[in-house]
Amino acid sequence: MMTFENQKKIKKLVDMRAKARLGGGQKRIDSQHAKGKYTARERIEMLLDPGSFEEMDMFKTHRCVNFGMEKEVYLGDGVAVGFGTIEGRMVCVFAQDFTVIGGSLSETMSEKICKVMDYAMKIGCPIIGINDSGGARIQEGSNALAGYAEIFERNILASGVVPQISLIFGPCAGGAVYSPALTDFIMMTEQNSYMFITGPKVVKSVTGEDVTTEALGGAGMHSRKSGVAHFKSASEEECLQLTRQLISYIPQNNMESVPTVTCNDPINRADDVLNEIVPDNPNKPYDMKDIIRSIVDNGEFLEVQPLYAQNIICCFARFNGVSTGIIANQPKFLAGVLDCDSSRKAARFVRFCDAFNIPILTLVDVPGFLPGTGQEYSGIIVHGAKLMFAYGEATVPKVTVTIRKSYGGAHIVMSCKQLRGDINYAWPNAEIAVMGASGAVEVLEGKNIAAIEDADEKAKYIFDKESEYKEKFANPYQAASRGYIDDVIEPRNTRFRIIRAFQSLQNKKVTNPLKKHDNIPL
């Protein structure tokens, strides 16, 4: 029978746990709810499988006695950390609690976050951070700054070892932004979340610019203009569900194989629509997403950065139940041309997939790199080289399908055979050449064309030369004759051929030269 003394001790434990879960108190919780936001622990419960969360350091408190802080002591000190499961797979999580001193980062808060990050590295599982903080706790001075740096160092060491996902559910400003920036994916919610180095008031005082919080660092701006945010959601509930979906596509760590689910979509499912989906006019656009939906399992895929650099598509999908990363030019936007933003977007996605053993499918329809002073001044040479570097160093299975155009340097960059593409297919209407027919004829026959005075005769000469060039290069067979294309496939059978190609590459083993690390052109 339990003694009275034991009952007292257990009651104290229960009461302390209840107090810790209240964070900054009911009044502040109500204020958080009034803003349309959830508390730290409510968010964790919504993210993880029911009842799976095991909290750590619930009773930890700060040690600051400056500026009256000894009177503001809360159990847990503004962050909930621990581990749990998503669809039965282990994840580590931390969630900043805005009800406790505005979620400001203290030395002890950073210790808690670092502990759970170290634990994630030890057991080999993803780290999910929910950010909702007013920044560094000013009362702690350099201790708070040191705490940020401790977190950043762990972000850096965990990069490429375990997946890291950042959810921005409130303010994230100043030094606080760098931890999410070091992670693999950033998710933001409309209206309530924002990220910036300096806020609107500082911007106004230093530069004279008048700018709103939303325009400076809101979810809309970061998902469309800066590319900082990979996903934007209308609500916290939607964002948490999206996080669960994202986790389903990626392995627990860099030593694991990709997740595989049971597939009820036949691998030999053919789609006759694909035989006619590409317009006869090579300058007419179509939607590459229609092709992706047709070939992936059950037409389902999860697009990364869908609103940023829309001339290229990066997404996760499954082929015969196996998670795969897809990079595809999008003719619907800027004719699918490569520019600075799309090159960086795709390069980062390729490197993530390679770091975590996710096979890569590349769908090519690219007329080249975007010309102009704007692109050259922005360093398109270096940005294009990033994508080339990413593909060239990647050792995961790589399958490439050229759908229509594949011109010049952009052909090389988009996972060509010489960048160690494993299986390279092409559709019958694929064009693999240095440039398009009109541009090529202008270069090759410029002097002859200029010498012809009669307009009709000149037009006929140009037409004949363009036809000759198209006969040679407006098809994939010249490249296939050199072995640069492994096979020309019927579009309707694309799904089956991709799956068979990836199946043949299941035991692929390729290693890069021994080095401390590479020096990608950043």
Token pair of 413 as six digits: 């960059």
Q: Give the span between the Cα atoms of 65 and 480, in whole angstroms.
A: 74
Candidate list 385, 410, 440, 501, residue with the active-site label: 410
Which position among 160, 175, 379, 439 bears the catalytic label?
175
d(CA 19, CA 392): 54
For residue 85, the Cα-to-chain-centroid distance in whole angstroms is 22
**Contact (Cβ atoms closer than 8 angstroms) between residue 43 and residue 169:** yes
Neighbouring residues of 490: CB distance < 8 A, sequence distance ≥ 6: 275, 428
Instruction: Judge whether 208 counts as a catalytic residue.
Output: no
453: CB partners within 8 A, 6+ apart: none
Q: How many CA atoms lie within 13 A of 264 on its CB side?
A: 0
Does the active-site annotation cover 410?
yes
**Active-site annotation holder among 199, 220, 408, 409:** 409
Nearest to 378 by CA among 342, 327, 349: 342
Clarify whether 409 is annotated catalytic. yes
Give CA–CA dist 226/103, Å, rounded: 26
Whole-angstrom distance, CA of residue 200 vs CA of residue 244: 33
Q: Which residues contact 447 (CB under 8 A, 6 or more apart)?
A: none
DSSP labels, 289-335: HHHHHHHSGGG-EEEESTTSSTTEEEEEEEETTEEEEEEEE-TTTGG
Maximum distance among all Cα pairs of the chain, rounded to whole angstroms: 111
For residue 174, indicate whether it is catalytic: yes
First to last CA, the chain: 67
Q: What is the per-residue burial (b if ≥16 Cβ within 10 Å, else e) of 172-182?
A: bbbbbbbbbeb
Name the catalytic one among 174, 218, 392, 421: 174
Amino acid letter, residue 130? I
Beta strands in 15-78 (DSSP E): 54-56
Q: How many CB atoms lie within 10 A of CB 477?
A: 15
Q: DSSP letter at 508?
A: -
Q: In Å, what is the CA distance from 298 to each residue of 34, 248, 338?
A: 40, 16, 29
SS in 3 state form for 170-193? CEEEHHHHHHHHCCCEEEEECCCC
Q: Could you tell me if 78 and 100 are in contact, meaning their C-beta atoms sit under 8 angstroms apart?
A: yes
User: Catalytic site residues?
Assistant: 174-175, 409-410
